[in-house]
Amino acid sequence: MTDQRSQAEIVRNSLKRRYRKERRFRLYGMLAIFIALASLAILFADIINKGHTGFVKTTITLDVALDSEMMYLDDPTDEDQLSMADFVAPIIAALQEHLPEADSAAEKRELGRLIGTYGASQIRDLLKDNPELLNTTQTFEFLAHDRVSVYVKHADNPRYSIKVSEQQQRWVDELLEKGIIDTSFNDVLFSRGDSREPANAGILGAIVGSLLTMLVTLAIAFPVGIAAAVYLEEFAPQNKITDFIEVNINNLAAVPSIIFGLLGLAVFIGLFGMPRSVPVVGGMVLALMTLPTIIISGRAAIKSVPPSIREAAEGVGASKMQVVLHHVIPLAMPGMLTGSIIGMAQALGETAPLLLIGMVAFIVDVPGGFLDSATVLPVQIYLWASSSEQGFVELASAGIMVLLTFMITMNALAIWLRKRLERRW
Amino acid sequence: MKLKTALTTVALAGSIAAVSTPAMARDTINIVGSSTVYPFATVVAERFGRNTDFPTPKLESTGSGGGLKLFCEGVGTQHPDITNASRRMKPSEFERCQSNGVKEITEVRIGADGIVIANSKDAAKVDFSLEQIFLALAKEVPDPNGGDKLVPNPYEKWSDIDSSLPNKAISVMGPPPTSGTRDAFVEIAMQGGCKQYDFIKKMDKSDMKSVCHSMREDGPFIEAGENDNLIVQRLAQDSGTYGIFGYSFLMENSGQIQAVTINGVEPTPEAISSEEYPVARSLWFYIKKAHVGVVPGIEEYVAEFTSEGAWGDNGYLVDVGLIPSPRNERMEIAKRAKELQPMTGKEL
C-alpha cells in the first residue's frame, strides 16, 4: 500500500518536470521554425529591397530633328557614311532645346552623357531602315545612361549620386519636372540579352539558354532515369552486381556537381570535340548530375506500388511487361515526376559544372538553338553580381527574383501533377 | 496517357538533337582570359556586335593564366581565337603554344592599369611604402631584431611595422594565384618592397623569387576569388580591411572606397600611365593567326579594339577605366595588329 502511494507520488512529482520538458521541447521546435522563416524573410526582404528598382527603367523622350548637316550624313543607304556619321549631335541638340543654358562644348558633352550609348544606334538603325526619314523630326524614347538611371531611382540616397556631376543632377531634376525623363516598367529586361550597360542588359538570353539546357537535360535524364529505375526494381536479379550498382547510384547522388563539369569538359568537349558554351553540352552535364536523383526517386515510387496490384495483374494472366507498363508505371508516375521535377529545379540553379564547359561567359545575342553559345539564369546573376557598375547590383537581385519565380513555378507544377495523378488504394 | 505521349515526344526530340552534334564550324569569335581585361573587352565586343553584321563575340573570364592555357591548347574551332591577359605571356607559355601547333600569335598591348590598395571611405587615408606592403603580406620577412635572417612573418598590426601606421590588425583581401592582378601585384609591389633589403637582393634569382613572391598564409592576407565586387562590398562594411584590385574598380566604386597612396603617390591615370605610381602594369591580348579567315570577324574585332574611338585618349574604353598608351605607341601597335605580325618569342 505504502509502496503504491509513494510510486504515485513519485510520478505526480515528476509530472511537472516532464510537462516542462515537453514544453521546452516544443519551444525548440518552434524556435527552429522561427529561425528558418526569419532567415528566409530577411533574404527575401533584402533581395526585393535591392532588386525592385531593377524592374524599372528610366527613359528620356525627345523630339529629335534628324538634320543631315548636323550628322554629316546625306545618304543613309551608304554604309561608309553611316559608320562615319555623328548620331549623338542631334540628341544633344534636342536636349539643348529643353536646357538652353548648356552651351559650352564641355557642357554639351556632359549633356550627351545623360543618354546611354544605345541612343546613337537607335537613330542609326531607324535611318538605315527608313532612309526617307532624313531631315524630319522624330520622337524617340531613349534609355537614360546607367548613372542617371541610378540617380533617378535613388534620389534620396546621396551614395548613389556620386557618379553624376552636380550640373547633371540639376539638369536631370529639371527634365524630371518637365516629364521628359520618366520611369516605367523595364521591358528591356525581358526582351534582350546581356549588355555591359545595365540600362540595356536583359535576361531573355539567359532565360532562353536555361530553357534549352533544361530541355536537353529532361530529354536525357528522364527516359534514362526511369528506364534504369524500372529495370533495377522490376527485372534485375538480386545479386552482388546489382547491389554494387545500387551503392554506386547512391554515391553518385552525393558527388559534388563540379566533378560532373570536369567530366563534361574531358569527355564531351575533349573527347567528342563538341563546342564550348552550348546548351547541348550543358544539358548533358546537368543530365548526368540529375540522373541519380531521378533513379532514386523513381525506384522509391515503384517500391510504393502495392504488391497486390502486381499479383492481381499476374493473376489474370498479364505478362511481366504488361504488369509493368499497364499497372506499375502509371501508378508510380506521380512519384517519378515529382522526383524528376525536383531534380530539374536543382539543375536549373546550378552554375559550378557549367563554369568548366564555358557557359559562364559574356553572351549578348539571344541563343536561337541548341548549338548557339548560351548562359543560364544563375550564371547571368553571378556575372551581374560581379560587375563593377552600380546598376548591375539591382539587376542581379531582379535576376534572382526571376530565377526564384521559375523555381517556385516548377515546384508548384510538381505538387499539381502529384495531386492530379495521385491514386489511392 | 496524353501526358505520357507528350513527354515521350519531348524526350525523343531532345535525344535526336543531342546525338546529332557534329564538331562544326563556328561563326562567333571566342575570347577567353583575364578578368581585368574582361570589362574592356566586353564593351568592345558589344559595340562590335551592334555596329557590324558579325555576331557578338563570346567572352569567358578565366583569368590570364587560365586563358593562355586554353589558348595554347591547339588550333581548331573548339579552341579560343583570342585571349586577354593582364600580364605578358610567359616564355614557358609561348613554348607550350608552339609545341601544340599554335605557331603564329600576334601580341597587342592595349594600355595600362594600376593596381590599387583601397579601404572604406569611412576609414582614415593612409600611405604605404612598397617595403611596408612587403613586410605586412610576405610569408617570411627579415628578422625585425636585425641580422640577415628570414623569420616567419611576426607582424599582426600595421603599427608593429611602423608606428606611424594605424594601430589595427593587418587584414588585406586580394586575388587568387590564377589572377593576373595577383601576378602583377606580387611581381611589382611585393618584389619591389623585398628588394629594398640588400641581403635578399644578393640571393640567387630563384631563392629571391621564392622569398619575394610568397604571400603569407596565416590569416592577414585573404584570397577573395576573382570576384572583385565581393572585395568592394567587404571593404564598405569593414573599415579595417584593405583590398587589392585594378584601377577601374576603384573608379567605379569611388563612392564607397578610397585608394591608399603608395610611396606618397595617388593612383591617378596620369601617374599610372607615366609609371610614377609604382604599381602599374600593361594589359594585353593575343590573337591566334591560324583562326583569322576561319572564324569570321577577327580582323574587324581587332580593328575596332585598336581604333582611336575605343582605346584613344577620348575613346570609350577610357570611360570604363583603361589608361591609354601614348599616341605614337598606340599607332605602332595598331599597325602591327592590322598586319597580324607574329611574335618571335624573343621579345618575351
| Whether residues A247 and A303 fall in one domain | yes
| Whether residues A266 and A309 fall in one domain | yes
| Whether residues A142 and A291 fall in one domain | no
Higher pLDDT: B248 or B69? It is: B69
Chain B residues whose CB is inside 8 A of the A218 CB are 10-11, 14
| Whether residues B61 and B144 fall in one domain | no
CB contact under 8 A, B59 and A361: yes
| Whether residues B103 and B182 fall in one domain | no
| Whether residues B149 and B201 fall in one domain | yes
Residue A35 falls inside a structural domain: no
CB contact under 8 A, B15 and A219: yes
User: For chain A, what is the largest distance between any 2 Cα atoms, rounded to a whole number of angstroms?
Assistant: 118
- pLDDT of amino acid B1: 44
List the single best residue of A81, A154, A196 to mutate versus B (max B Cβ within 10 A). A196
| Whether residues B80 and B122 fall in one domain | no
Chain B residues whose CB is inside 8 A of the A50 CB are none
Q: A196 pLDDT exceeds 70?
A: yes
- pLDDT of amino acid A6: 82
| Whether residues A178 and A277 fall in one domain | no
Residue A208: which domain range?
204-421
| Whether residues A275 and A330 fall in one domain | yes
Residue B131: which domain range?
114-281
* Residues B10, B50: Cα–Cα separation, whole Å: 35
Average model confidence (pLDDT) across chain A: 89
A371 touches chain B (CB under 8 A): yes
- Percentage of chain B surpassing pLDDT 70? 92
- Run of H or E residues at B118: strand B105-120
0.85 surpassed by complex ipTM: no
B227 touches chain A (CB under 8 A): yes
Chain A residues whose CB is inside 8 A of the B26 CB are 275
Give A308→chain B minimum CA distance, Å.
23
* Residues A70, A86: Cα–Cα separation, whole Å: 8
| Whether residues B78 and B127 fall in one domain | no
- pLDDT of amino acid B20: 43
List the single range of A11-25, B102-116, B211-225 with lowest mean pLDDT: B211-225
CB atoms within 10 A of CB B248: 21
Which one of B231, B254, B281 terminates a domain? Answer: B281
Residue A42 falls inside a structural domain: no
- pLDDT of amino acid B19: 45
Chain B residue with the nearest C-alpha to that of A162: B255
Q: B3 pLDDT exceeds 70?
A: no
For residue A14, give Cα distances in angstroms to A10, A21, A363, A418, B241.
Answer: 6, 10, 69, 47, 56
Cα B176 to its chain centre, rounded Å, is: 11
List the single range of A12-16, A282-286, B9-13, B228-232 with lowest mean pLDDT: B9-13
* Residues A148, A180: Cα–Cα separation, whole Å: 13
pLDDT band of residue B4 (cuts 50, 70, 90) is low
- pLDDT of amino acid B147: 73
Cα A294 to its chain centre, rounded Å, is: 22
| Whether residues A168 and A227 fall in one domain | no
| Whether residues B162 and B267 fall in one domain | yes
Higher pLDDT: B206 or A317? It is: A317
Which segments of chain B does DSSP mark as H helices, in order? 2-19, 38-51, 64-71, 91-99, 130-137, 158-161, 180-184, 191-194, 198-201, 205-212, 228-237, 247-252, 269-273, 298-305, 308-311, 316-320, 327-339
Higher pLDDT: A113 or B11? It is: A113
Grid cell, residue A189, equals 529586361
List the single range of A36-45, A257-266, B9-18, B157-166 with lowest mean pLDDT: B9-18
Mean pLDDT over B61-66 rounds to: 89
Which one of B281, B309, B331 terminates a domain? Answer: B281
- Report pLDDT digits (tens) over A334-372: 889 989 998 999 999 998 999 889 898 999 999 998 999
| Whether residues B264 and B152 fall in one domain | yes
Residue B198 falls inside a structural domain: yes
Q: B23 pLDDT exceeds 80?
A: no
Mean pLDDT over B145-161 rounds to: 85
Q: A88 pLDDT exceeds 90?
A: no
Mean pLDDT over B128-133 rounds to: 89
Which one of A158, A185, A212 terminates a domain? Answer: A185
Residue A36 falls inside a structural domain: no
- pLDDT of amino acid A27: 96
Chain A residues whose CB is inside 8 A of the B23 CB are 272-275
Residue B194 falls inside a structural domain: yes
* Residues A361, A376: Cα–Cα separation, whole Å: 10
- pLDDT of amino acid A163: 66
Mean pLDDT over A160-189 rounds to: 85
- Report pLDDT digits (tens) over A19-73: 999 999 999 999 999 999 999 999 999 999 888 999 999 999 999 999 888 888 8
Mean pLDDT over A378-382 rounds to: 94
| Whether residues A227 and A175 fall in one domain | no
Higher pLDDT: B54 or B2? It is: B54
Cα B316 to its chain centre, rounded Å, is: 20
| Whether residues A216 and A339 fall in one domain | yes
| Whether residues B277 and B298 fall in one domain | no
- pLDDT of amino acid A289: 93
Alpha-carbon dihedral of residues A338, A342, A343, A347, nearest 10 degrees? 150
Chain A residues whose CB is inside 8 A of the B38 CB are 362
CB contact under 8 A, A364 and B45: yes
Query: What's the structural domain count of chain B?
Result: 2
Give B212→chain A minimum CA distance, Å.
30
Q: A86 pLDDT exceeds 90?
A: no
Residue B212 falls inside a structural domain: yes
| Whether residues B57 and B198 fall in one domain | no
- pLDDT of amino acid B276: 84
Residue A11 falls inside a structural domain: no
Which one of A185, A216, A231 terminates a domain? Answer: A185
Residue B5 falls inside a structural domain: no
The CATH number assigned to the domain holding B129 equals: 3.40.190.10
- pLDDT of amino acid A160: 66
pLDDT band of residue B92 (cuts 50, 70, 90) is very high
Q: A159 pLDDT exceeds 70?
A: no
| Whether residues B218 and B299 fall in one domain | no
Which residues of B, range 246-275, sit inside 8 Å of A by Cβ? 248-249, 252-256
Query: What's the structural domain count of chain A?
Result: 2
Chain A residues whose CB is inside 8 A of the B6 CB are none
Higher pLDDT: B143 or A291? It is: A291
| Whether residues A226 and A159 fall in one domain | no
| Whether residues A266 and A210 fall in one domain | yes
Mean pLDDT over A63-87 rounds to: 83
- What's the angle, vertex CA A391, arms to CA A386 and CA A394, rounded to 5? 80
Mean pLDDT over A187-204 rounds to: 91
- pLDDT of amino acid B16: 47
Residue B1 falls inside a structural domain: no
List the single range of B71-85, B106-120, B134-148, B280-294 with lowest mean pLDDT: B134-148
Contacts of B189 (CB under 8 A, 6+ apart): B115, B130, B133, B134, B262, B278, B279
Which one of B231, B261, B281 terminates a domain? Answer: B281
- Candidate from A196, A365, A389 with C-beta closest to B55: A365
| Whether residues B171 and B211 fall in one domain | yes
| Whether residues B214 and B74 fall in one domain | no
pTM for this predicted structure: 0.78
Residue A208 falls inside a structural domain: yes
| Whether residues A252 and A399 fall in one domain | yes
- Report pLDDT digits (tens) over B270-321: 888 777 888 888 899 999 999 999 999 999 999 999 988 888 887 888 877 7
Residue B242 falls inside a structural domain: yes
- pLDDT of amino acid B9: 53
| Whether residues A162 and A246 fall in one domain | no
- The 3 state secondary structure assigned to A335-362 is HHHHHHHHHHHHHHCCCHHHHHCCCCEE
